[in-house]
Amino acid sequence: MNKIDKDIVDYFENIKMYRRHIHANPEVGPEQPDTVKYVKEQFLNLEDIVITHKEEKAGLVIDILCASNGPTIAFRADMDALNLSETKSPNHLANKEKFCSLFENKMHACGHDLHTAILISFGKIIYNYRNKLRGKIRLLFQPGEEGYAGAKQMVEAKYLKEVQNVFALHCWPNLEVGQIGLKKGAFFASVDHFLVKVSGIGGHGASPEKASDQILAVSSMISNLQSILSRKISGLDQRVLSIGYINAGNKKSKGVLPSSAEFGGTFRTFDTNVQKKIKEELEIICKNTAKMIHNDCKVDIEYTNSYPQTINDNTSVLKLEEIFSDFIDDENLFLNYIPTLGAEDFSFMLKEVPGALFLIGTNSTNHNINKSVFLHNPTFDPDEKSMLFGIQSFKSIALSLLNNKII
């Protein structure tokens, strides 16, 4: 039987209240000022609490000062939502219980509302233990995980300085409530986004020999790029390259060969050498393909929003295995869980300080896991009891690491 401490179970109504408030008020983008304000309000006027809120893009830091000197252990929650409109289905919990998003095209569809509620609740609960612990518990409420590298902003604001270990969790619909997934080393992939712009001589569709045909160049490049994965990278290396954007010409002028065309995509890997190789080959293929089509076809490639691989520290993972096995049965604790080609900007924090990201199951035990909706979906409907396990995980880590033991 999985065990959750009584003080966490007793706090469940508050946990749900935090989650539901944040869920109803999603904020998208690099800054979440209203969420920060709400989180801050939960910790005002308490002794032994230090609140740091310098600039919105670097989020909010709450320090809980314990009884004696010791290490600082940090816990991170991302707070941002996505540009999605929440389902109107009456079966969706947020509609049934009337806490659905108050805004069209904004929704907490990645579970960051749960993450934030877990971190607030953990802070409120562990606060009561501060006199029995040493050191400092740092709560990192991070903005802009979804493409804005908010974690990097927190690192640059020096919030990880003097932190000994940092931990984070992510909701995971492929696991059931009460299950935890964990892995040593690379757990989430790196993500690189690229935009390829091709420019040259436009012309009349009847005389392609007088133009440099940017559309033919772009379409050839897109086909050729897949050969990187199949011919240039070992089959043993996990990776993906996808094109998600293409634009050229004017649909009202189908007889015109445009002077420019562009496309963009993403590639993801678990290995920095593979990542480097894909980037190099992408440039070679695009430039050579352009040349093959026409000498006047010019290529310009932009890279943006790169997140590195999320690499869990092996020592920290071993410690988590020991801590989690105190309240999770063996069959529910997955110690070498499947890595994901999704990306996480917590990677920036793990480059700075050793620690680990782990996954908590959000799928209700009475649902078919194969049919459960994954993240970034307008019908994502996590079981709120999953938050109990998130809070228990953080609480057990804090009690273990700040209780006169050194990791």
Q: Is 28 among the residues that bind Zn ion (CB under 5 A)? A: no
Q: Measured on CA atoms in the order 365, 376, 166, 337, is the torsion positive or negative? A: positive
357: its two tokens:
């990201």
Q: Is 110 among the residues that bind Zn ion (CB under 5 A)? A: yes
Query: Which stretch, 108-116, 249-257, 294-302, 376-384, contacts Zn ion (CB under 5 A)?
Result: 108-116
Q: Which residues 6+ apart lie within 8 Å of 355 measured at CB?
A: 74, 165, 166, 167, 168, 312, 313, 316, 349
Cβ proximity to Zn ion: between 81 and 211 the closer is: 81
Query: Which stretch, 43-51, 64-72, 107-115, 156-164, contacts Zn ion (CB under 5 A)?
Result: 107-115
**Nearest distance, CB of residue 80 and Zn ion, angstroms:** 9
Q: Is 261 among the residues that bind Zn ion (CB under 5 A)? A: no
Site for Zn ion in 152-171 (CB under 5 A): none
Q: Where are the alpha helices (DSSP H) in 42-159?
A: 93-96, 112-127, 150-156
**Nearest distance, CB of residue 144 and Zn ion, angstroms:** 11
Length of the chain: 407
Residue 78: name the closest of 40, 35, 44 by CA: 35
Compute φ and ψ for 141, nearest 5 degrees. Answer: -95, 105
Query: Which stretch, 109-117, 161-169, 185-193, 258-266, contacts Zn ion (CB under 5 A)?
Result: 109-117
**Nearest distance, CB of residue 374 and Zn ion, angstroms:** 11
**Nearest distance, CB of residue 352 and Zn ion, angstroms:** 20
Q: Is 100 among the residues that bind Zn ion (CB under 5 A)? A: no
**Nearest distance, CB of residue 158 and Zn ion, angstroms:** 24
Cβ proximity to Zn ion: between 130 and 170 the closer is: 170
Q: Is 359 among the residues that bind Zn ion (CB under 5 A)? A: no
Query: Which stretch, 86-94, 105-113, 322-330, 348-356, contacts Zn ion (CB under 5 A)?
Result: 105-113
Question: Total number of residues binding Zn ion (CB under 5 A)?
Answer: 1
Cβ proximity to Zn ion: between 66 and 110 the closer is: 110
Separation CA 301–CA 103 (nearest Å): 36
Question: At which residue do the structure tokens 């989180």 appear?
Answer: 39
Q: What is the DSSP letter of 229?
A: I
Query: Which stretch, 23-31, 103-111, 153-161, 350-358, contacts Zn ion (CB under 5 A)?
Result: 103-111
Separation CA 94–CA 24 (nearest Å): 8
Concatenate the DSSP letters of all residues of 170-220 into one string: EEEEEEETT-EE--SEEEE-EEEEEEEEEE---EETT-GGGS--HHHHHHH
**Nearest distance, CB of residue 110 and Zn ion, angstroms:** 4
Where does this chain bind Zn ion (CB under 5 A)?
110
